[in-house]
Every structure is written in C-alpha cells, then in structure tokens.
Amino acid sequence: MTATDSMQEYLAEAYRIACYQPDNRYVSTSSLAEELQVSAPAVTRMVQRLKQAGYLEHEPYRGIRLTEAGEREALANIRRHRLVECFLVDVMGFGWHEVHDDADDLGLVVSDMLVDKIDEISGYPKRCPHGEPIPSADGVMPPVVDCPLSEAEVGCDYVISRVHTHDDQRLRYFSELRLEPGKRFRLVMRAPFKGPLKLQVDGQTHFLGHELAGTLRVCSEDEYQLV
C-alpha cells in the first residue's frame, strides 16, 4: 500500500519524536497526538491503518515503532520538508520562524525531481534552518551527536546544533541573542535547582531559563559538521 500524504505526516512525526529519545525507539500515541495537534481517537485510527500497511508495529502500553518501510516513507517526507525550509530561508529570504507550516504544505506537492533541484539551488545543505539533519536522496539520515544545553557541562565552548521548537516567538528571541544553528558560544554558569544559565555570545552575556535552554541542542564544532 502506497502511503498517503497524511500517513507520511504521521510517520515523519513519529520518526522525529524518536530521534529525541535515542534510548527508546517506541513513541507513545499520546505524544504523537500532542505534536500533530489531533485527537487521541484520530491517532488510534491512523495507527491501525499504518500497522495494517506494514509501516509500524504497535505494542500496547509501550507505543509504536516504525518498520523499515515506515522509516523509508518518513525519511522521504522529512527530506522534502527540510529542503523546502532551506529554500524558503536561504534562497527566498524568509525568516526561520516563518517557514515550518509552509514547508509542510509545499512538501506535499513537490516532486522528487523538484526536491533534488531545490537541494542543488540551496547549495546541498546538510541541516535545515533549525539545525535538523537532512536525509540523503537514498534515505540515509546523518547521525547527530548533541545534548540539551540545559545538561551541558559548564565552562566549555559549544555550537548550537539544533533548535527543538517551531514557536515563532522563541525563534525570534533566539535570533535576537544570535543563538542559531552553527553559532559558537560559551556556557559560563548554570544556577542550581533548574535555575537560569549564563552564556557568553560574541562577547555579550545572556541568561536563559532552564526550560528554554532545554530546547537548544549543543555540540562541539567537529560534531556540528555532519558526515
């Protein structure tokens, strides 16, 4: 059975969620419903369709896990989405806080040939504007090594790897602080009991709350350069 657009959307979101929990490849249906902003019954119906089509496995009380076929469909969707985001930001000049929803819509209608052309025009990017890795045309996802800023070691230099939010106000704020993927900074201090973090960015000092810092993933400069 060929995956429909809505089926691919569910598979892609399940893949994205799993990527942020590397020790557990199972995704709860409740987290899927929350990310897609749909009802629990709608997720249950779609999970049943995807299971019947061979795109995922479902274990009660544990969640869903994509099969090999499900991952292929998910990666195709993710590649289109992230390359369209690159095109909108790097070529068309949109802000990174403006493109997520439009990339969702455009990703449903662009052909594989057009996606490859977008890849070329955008300079063959390895990451989308939010720092997420872009799968290759043959369905290989580059491995990412990073951790939440809220858990990073104090006194070290880091590079922003990924930004795990599409909230436009948060993205605008990160832009004001110049905390965007690829940006180098130093983590100076972290207050105890989930207090604020003190950062040094381009010689300026900024403070971030613990929860907000958790949406930023950081790595070393070498780790930022995906293979």
What CATH number does the domain containing 86 carry? 1.10.10.10
48 with 96, same domain?
no
pLDDT at 88: 97
Q: Is residue 151 part of a domain?
A: yes
Distance (Å) of CA 148 to CA 39, 57, 121, 169, 172: 29, 29, 32, 20, 19
**Closest C-alpha among 174, 176, 97 to residue 129:** 97
29 with 96, same domain?
no
128 with 85, same domain?
yes
pLDDT digits (tens, 9 = 90+) for 51-99: 999 999 999 889 999 999 999 999 999 999 999 999 999 999 999 999 9
Cβ proximity of 116 and 189 under 8 Å:
no
> 66, 100, 118: which is the final residue of a domain?
66
136 with 152, same domain?
no
135 with 168, same domain?
no
Give the three-state DSSP class for 72. Answer: helix
Q: Is residue 137 part of a domain?
A: yes
151 with 209, same domain?
yes
218 with 153, same domain?
yes
Q: Is residue 176 part of a domain?
A: yes
Q: Is residue 180 part of a domain?
A: yes
Q: Count up the domains in the chain and report the number.
A: 3
pLDDT at 21: 87
156 with 182, same domain?
yes
> 21, 36, 66: which is the final residue of a domain?
66
**Closest C-alpha among 64, 52, 50 to residue 18:** 64
157 with 212, same domain?
yes
User: What count of Cα atoms within 13 Å lies in the side-chain half-sphere of residue 11?
Assistant: 30
By residue range, what is the domain housing residue 88? 77-142
Question: What backbone phi and psi angles, to 5 degrees, belong to 142?
Answer: -60, 135
Q: Is residue 71 part of a domain?
A: no
> 86, 111, 142: which is the final residue of a domain?
142
116 with 161, same domain?
no
pLDDT at 161: 98
157 with 173, same domain?
yes
118 with 167, same domain?
no
Per the DSSP assignment, residues forming a β-bridge with 147 are 218
Q: Is residue 72 part of a domain?
A: no
Q: Is residue 106 part of a domain?
A: yes
Low-confidence ranges of the chain (pLDDT < 50): none
